Each structure stands twice: as structure tokens, then as C-alpha cells.
Amino acid sequence: MDRRGFVKIGLAAGVAGTGNKGLAAPASRLGSGGILDAGVREQQQMMEAGKLTSHALTSQYLARIKTIDKAGPRLNSVIELNPEALKIALDMDRERSLKRVRGPLHGIPVLLKDNIATGDRMSTTAGSLALAGVRAQRDAHVTAQLRAAGAVIIGKTNLSEWANMRSTHSVSGWSGRGGLTLNPYSLDRNCSGSSSGSGAAIAAGLATLAVGTETDGSIVSPASICGLVGIKPTLGLVSRSGIIPIAHSQDTAGPMARSVADAALMLSAMTGVDPRDPVTRESVGKVGDYAAALQKGGLQGMRLGVARNFFGQHAGRDAVIEQALRDLKAQGAVLIDTPVPNVAKYGDSETEVLLYEFKADLEAYLKDYAPNAPVSNMAELIAFNQRHSQQELPYFGQEYLEQAQAKGDLETPAYKDALANNRRYARDEGIDQVMKEHQLDALIAPTDGPAWLTDFINGDHFSGGFSSPAAVAGYPHITVPAGYVQGLPVGLSFVGAAYSEAALIRMAYAYEQATMHRRPPQFPPSVSLAAR
């Protein structure tokens, strides 16, 4: 199953004259670079040199959100701001002044997708009005990990409601609570889903980093379409506890960033064994040194399987990726054309598994993290949406919720059979088989097509993404900017075996540094056919 997930402007995005001490320079203008478009290491260097404070950096991002997200192009990517963000930033500055720096993310502003629990004054809603105003009992494990690393959580990002698992005719990037997120590379086009807000926000420079979540494509597709790096980790590398679920057999959180280095540093902070999520125990001894993997020569001698059965859906996209293949060879990679086998054998069974697990996992989350919510299970959620249909169902329905409600429990033989089918054909007779047969270090393919026009009549228009094999297998997947089609970003995917994140980061970084395709968006109202 492949679910992912208007006005011209001519104003500055900068926030000169904020009155904050510690500013290194005025905030950047649209697409001009500057401290707000800089990466983790650059921002840390300035803070270490005393030329920037976390409070000043956070203030500038909050002002840029006001200028770009809530006014100007009105991207609508941030669903809620953290009222404690500036206080947290000050606390991080005080720690730095006492020579207590927690790590690379100390004082770095981060946005979280609004299905990741925060035990603070912000709501955690998955974009649903049914959870509007509902505060989680405690932080998700990934939130706690980022706080412990010194990150400043500045807000929550909009998303495709219920992580795009609500309707068979959904519009990615829309939620009842948050409305529609716009694509900063063309405001009339879609960001893909479901981490739409995280993708748009980081592309637009509204924070240094963001967290997305993925069940099938919801990190890598919006990252590709928004010109970002996205990492979908191995299932179990990052805890699932405290994340509003779709399906425990595929759900994971992961970083979305403007560079491979930033994504790698964030991933290091997100990992860790969580007693509330037993699968994380499988990561012991398998967490790599992701910072050390940032090597420019990382493609030399690497054997890459070109997944040709994921080409042919979009000519412009394929042309971009063919150039990427030439660039990979120029960096010393060995390319072997080979399809990923058996991908058609788990499409229906993937959907089946997601429906069963969504029903069970949602009820468990609500009981544990949101016991005071007005809904406590799938049936009550469906009824809530029916009662509030003008706000929740104006454009598309809730077919997936209704199908999930009709399923039995997780002891149902049909569920167990579908899950076994997924693992057989995505892992054993899928990625594992082809990588072993050709002695591959990774599989590569186009991540997704360029952004489509947002269409509330017909819904989304996907064009052959590469997310499902890694998603169903629970294996890692990294996308890196590879070029543009009419000014719209296209990503190149690297997929590997379980816990091969370090190797994938090394290859992705080498490709990124050799090509440096990413350029910041200019917020045009529509695509210019003269763009390249």
C-alpha cells in the first residue's frame, strides 16, 4: 500500500531588529542562506564562539514562523508553538555558560510531528479535532531522548490527519485541526504525506531539524518532494512508544533535515533502548557511529542494486535519477541493474496488517497517553467524525477507520497470515534475497515523483514511490536530493539491510557532497515551465 505520507509573495523572511542579544547576523531572507538555513555544526560553532545563543536562534525561528508560516505564503506547516521554547533555550544557554554541553543538539531548535507525544503544554492530536486540546500524560521516548540531548522543542508540525490512514481518497498534508500545508517549492502543489508539515517547515527554514514518522513513505516521500534528507530507520532503532500509531509492525520516527550530516546527528540522539518498547532491545550493539559515517569517499567500491522495477512512472524524474546513477559511478560505485523481487505479493496484505494493528494500537495509545481524551477507541473516533462532519469530513471520508473497526483482534488468523506474508516477501524473498544474490551494499531507486497539484476533488496523485519494500520489511531507507523537474525536487533513495544506517549514511553523504543539489525554495504560487 502506498499512502503517504496561492499567493505570490515578495517579502523578507528575516527578523531584523528583534532586540535579542547574541545574534550573529540578521535573520536570512527567503532563499538567501544565513544562520536559519545553516546546519547543526555551523550553528554549534557560532554558539561555541559566543556569536550566537540558543535563545537568539530560537527567537529568530519563531519570528520566521510568524512571517512565513502564519503570514506571507502561509505554508501552514506548524500546527502549534511551544510556549516554553524560549525558556528552554535560555536553560540551554545557561548550561553552555557553565561548560555543560550535552552534545551536538545542545540548544538546537527542533520541530516534532503532531503525532509525537509531549508531556508539556502542547497538545498531541495527529491532526484530529477529536484530540484537540488533549495533552499527553508524558513525553514519547523520542521526545525525551531529544530533550536529554539538549534540543529545544519549539513546536509541532501539521500532518496528514491520522498519518494519512483515514481515507482511500485523502489529500496529503490536510488535517481537520491544522488545515492544508502548502509546498514551499510551489504553493499550489502537495507536500506528500504524512510528515507534510515537517517537510515544508524544514525546507522553508523554520527550524534546524524536524522529526517525521513513517509507516510507508511518510518520511521519505515528503522529504524527497520538499528537497530534504529523510531517514526512515530500521524498526526498533527508534522507540515507538508515545507516537500515535498506525501499525507497530511498520511505524517508526526519523529525522528530516537539510543535509545528511544534520540527519545523522539527529538520528544518533533519537536512538536508545526503551523499556516501553521491547523491540528496541534488538538494537543493542547495532547502533552505528553515524557522525563517523560522514565520509566523502563513502561510495568507492560500493555495490548498488538499481531497482529498475521502480523506474518508468515519470520521465522527468527518471532522467534526474539516470544522471544520479552517472554521478554514483563517477564516485566509484559499482551499479548492478536488478529488480526488487515479489513487491506485488504484499500490497494487499500490507493494507490488511495496517488495518488490524491500527485498531488495536490506537486504543492502546489512547489508554496509556491520553486517558482523558473524548474518544478512547476506533468506534468512538468514527462517531466523533460523524458528529463533526463539517469540520472533519468536508473533502474526504474515513474509509480506513471504518475498515479497521470491522477487523478482529491481533489473534485473528487472517492477521497473522498477512503479517507472515509481508515478512516473507518483503524480507526473506525480497530485499534480503536480492542483496545476497548480488552481494549488494544497498538498493537505489527514485524516491518518488515530483509534487503533484493539490486536488480536493480527486485526492492524491502518487507517481510510483520506492517506499514500500523497506517499510514493509522494517529496513532502513534514506532519501537525498538528486535534482529538479521544472523546479520541483526529486530524491534518490538508498535502502539497506536491517541496522545498516551507518553504511547508508556514508553512501548518501558521499553522493550529497559530490553533487550538492539542494537549493532553498522561493515560494512561487505555481511551477514555472521554464524552470529546471
| CA 229-281-495 angle, 5° bins | 30
Other CB atoms within a 10 A radius of the CB of residue 391 amount to: 12
| CA 7-110-225 angle, 5° bins | 45
Q: Which of 122, 482, 495, 112 is nearest to 327 (CA)?
A: 482
CA separation for the pair 5, 213 (Å, rounded): 9
Kindly name the residue from 128, 160, 195, 218 that is annotated as catalytic.
218
Distance of CA 316 to the CA centre of its chain: 24
Distance of CA 390 to the CA centre of its chain: 29
Q: Which of 396, 388, 307, 403 is nearest to 348 (CA)?
A: 403
CB 6 within 8 A of CB 525: yes
Ramachandran sector of residue 337 (left: φ over 0; alpha: ψ -120 to 50; beta: rest): beta
Q: What is the DSSP string of 303-369?
A: EEEE-GGG-SS-HHHHHHHHHHHHHHHHTT-EEEE-PPTTGGGSHHHHHHHHHHHHHHHHHHHHHHH
The residues near 194 (Cβ < 8 Å, ≥ 6 apart) are: 3, 4, 5, 159, 160, 163, 164, 172, 213, 218, 222
In the sheet that holds 78-81, the strands lie side by side as 78-81, 152-157, 109-113, 209-214, 252-257, 229-232, 477-485, 488-495, 442-446, 303-306, 334-337
Please report which residue ranges of 101-181 form alpha helices under DSSP H. 141-148
218 is an active site residue: yes
Q: Which residue type sits at 96?
A: R
- Residue with grid cell 513513505, as numbered in its chain: 217
| CA 496-498-501 angle, 5° bins | 60
Whether cis (ω within 30° of 0) applies to the bond prior to 194 is yes
CA separation for the pair 61, 54 (Å, rounded): 10
Kindly name the residue from 77, 194, 195, 196 that is annotated as catalytic.
194
DSSP summary character for residue 234? P
160 is an active site residue: no
Kindly name the residue from 28, 59, 77, 113 that is annotated as catalytic.
113
The cell for 329 is 559511478
Based on DSSP, count helices (H) and strands (E) in the chain, helices before strands. Answer: 16, 13
113 is an active site residue: yes
**DSSP helix/strand/coil, 213:** strand
- The pair phi, psi for residue 389, each rounded to 5°, is -65, -30
Ramachandran sector of residue 334 (left: φ over 0; alpha: ψ -120 to 50; beta: rest): beta
Q: Which residues are catalytic?
A: 113, 194, 218
